[in-house]
């Protein structure tokens, strides 16, 4: 690819070597990033991560107009969809219709989209529930608290989502959510009561608050750059031991039961979830972030604020409405296969703006398989449904 020249023609850049093998969308995304880093448009990731990703990439040869535009609009991140051969160049400032007339619509046979979008800070603002924050399921003649409902640590005026019930090797049942929901960004003490509904959602006419369980453990969420911390270990997840298993159901808000099988995410996969804020929503996986995503977290009550890098982050657009909103963090994301069976895919943990998404929103998730493996638990279905 060293001898490859990119020529701009009708806002399309193509390879001048017709017999060269077509590069993957990932390869092209790496070539764009390498160019952006070399020209000071994007800052490199510290440590060896940048070099490892771009080791085999050759920087694109871009026009001065493209360089000027990406600098002016502030290119923030790159995501890619291998199935549709689409690359998303997320910018801080909006790329207008007039701008698009001078920008390439394709690079190396990959379609290029220019959404405006930033990553939202977690914990900065209190969430507001759009619908029912908590669901009680009638099963076996008793009301059970459902997954997809509001939870929080007992000492935090907040609310997130009970994603699923999980079980460890000893058969002990736990609740699964995000570290920043029940683990308070590493600040929950072991044994801290986890309330249902979350403190933020306690009010007249709602579910009477009760202790659903007690905080058990979190996965690493270390502040710092690659080389100082192992970014690949970062994962926003936590579990708490269920206090009285008769009080909780594996049903996802009464819509469907928690699946126990797992599939890895794929571009274009249609997914759904039940969450504390937006309830039951459907969407589609639009791509995967090329580089680690930096998420800003704050837990003001504990004097915590920091930026944490996450690898293997995937992006979802909702179906007509946002797939998730603040307070949906911790929701279990599932997929329905061709036979109508559901499989777990990921854990919702963050979001951001996106001019291509409904209501200018996108949702971030982490694959569920490595989360369960690190926690040494399995998904539990069929419990009090």
pLDDT tens-digit readout, 239-248: 999 999 999 9
DSSP string, 299-322: EGGGTEEEEEEESS-EEEEESSS-
| pLDDT value at 130 more than 50 | yes
Residues 195, 332, 281: CA angle, nearest 5 degrees: 105
pLDDT tens-digit readout, 195-228: 999 999 998 888 999 999 999 999 989 998 877 8
d(CA 297, CA 301): 12
3-state secondary structure of 202: coil
pLDDT tens-digit readout, 139-166: 888 899 999 999 999 999 999 999 999 9
Query: pLDDT: is 53 or 17 the higher one?
Result: 53
pLDDT tens-digit readout, 258-310: 999 999 999 999 999 999 999 999 999 999 999 999 999 988 777 788 899 99
CB 283 within 8 A of CB 319: yes
pLDDT tens-digit readout, 318-327: 999 999 999 9
Cα dist. 190→95, 104, 105, 124, 182 in Å?
48, 53, 52, 24, 11
Please, what are the domains in the chain?
6-113 (no CATH), 122-385 (2.40.10.10)
CA neighbor of 328 nearest in space, from 191, 95, 151: 151
Q: Name the pLDDT band for 335 (thresholds 50, 70, 90).
A: very high
Residues 236, 148, 247: CA angle, nearest 5 degrees: 110
d(CA 221, CA 231): 9
d(CA 313, CA 265): 10
d(CA 258, CA 381): 5
242: which strand partners?
213
What's the token pair of residue 79? 């995501």
Q: Name the pLDDT band for 6 (thresholds 50, 70, 90).
A: very low
| pLDDT value at 5 more than 50 | no
Sequence length of the chain is 385
């Amino acid at each position: 690819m060293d001898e490859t020249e990119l020529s701009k023609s009708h806002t399309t850049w193509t390879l001048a070597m017709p017999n060269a093998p077509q590069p993957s969308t990932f390869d092209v995304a790496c070539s764009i990033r390498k160019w952006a880093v070399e020209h000071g448009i994007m800052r490199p990731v510290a440590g060896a991560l940048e070099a490892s990703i771009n080791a085999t990439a050759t920087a694109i040869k871009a026009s001065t107009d493209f360089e000027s535009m990406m600098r002016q609009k502030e290119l923030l991140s790159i995501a890619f969809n291998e199935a549709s051969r689409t690359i998303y160049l997320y910018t801080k400032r909006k790329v207008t219709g007039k701008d698009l007339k001078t920008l390439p619509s394709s690079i190396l046979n990959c379609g290029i989209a220019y959404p405006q979008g930033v990553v939202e800070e977690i914990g900065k603002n209190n969430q507001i529930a759009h619908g029912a924050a908590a669901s009680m399921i009638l099963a076996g003649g008793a009301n059970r608290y459902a997954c997809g409902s509001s939870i929080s640590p007992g000492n935090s005026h907040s609310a997130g989502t009970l994603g699923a019930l999980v079980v460890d090797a000893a058969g002990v049942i736990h609740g699964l959510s995000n570290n920043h929901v029940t683990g308070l960004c590493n600040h929950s003490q072991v044994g801290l009561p986890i309330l249902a509904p979350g403190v933020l959602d306690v009010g007249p006419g709602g579910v009477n608050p009760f202790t659903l369980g007690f905080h058990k453990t979190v996965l690493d969420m270390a502040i710092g750059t690659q080389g100082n911390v192992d970014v690949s270990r970062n994962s926003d997840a936590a579990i708490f031991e269920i206090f009285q298993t008769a009080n909780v159901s594996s049903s996802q808000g009464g819509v469907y039961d928690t699946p126990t099988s797992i599939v890895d995410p794929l571009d274009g996969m249609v997914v759904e979830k039940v969450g504390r804020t937006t309830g039951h929503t459907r969407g589609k996986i639009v791509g995967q972030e090329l580089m680690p995503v930096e998420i800003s977290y704050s837990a003001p009550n504990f004097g915590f604020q920091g930026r944490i890098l996450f690898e293997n982050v995937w992006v979802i657009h909702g179906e007509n409405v946002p797939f998730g909103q603040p307070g949906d963090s911790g929701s279990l994301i599932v997929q329905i296969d061709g036979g109508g069976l559901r499989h777990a895919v990921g854990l919702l943990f963050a979001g951001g703006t996106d001019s291509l998404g409904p209501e200018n929103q996108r949702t971030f998730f982490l694959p569920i398989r490595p989360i369960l493996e690190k926690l040494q638990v399995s998904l539990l279905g069929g419990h009090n449904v």
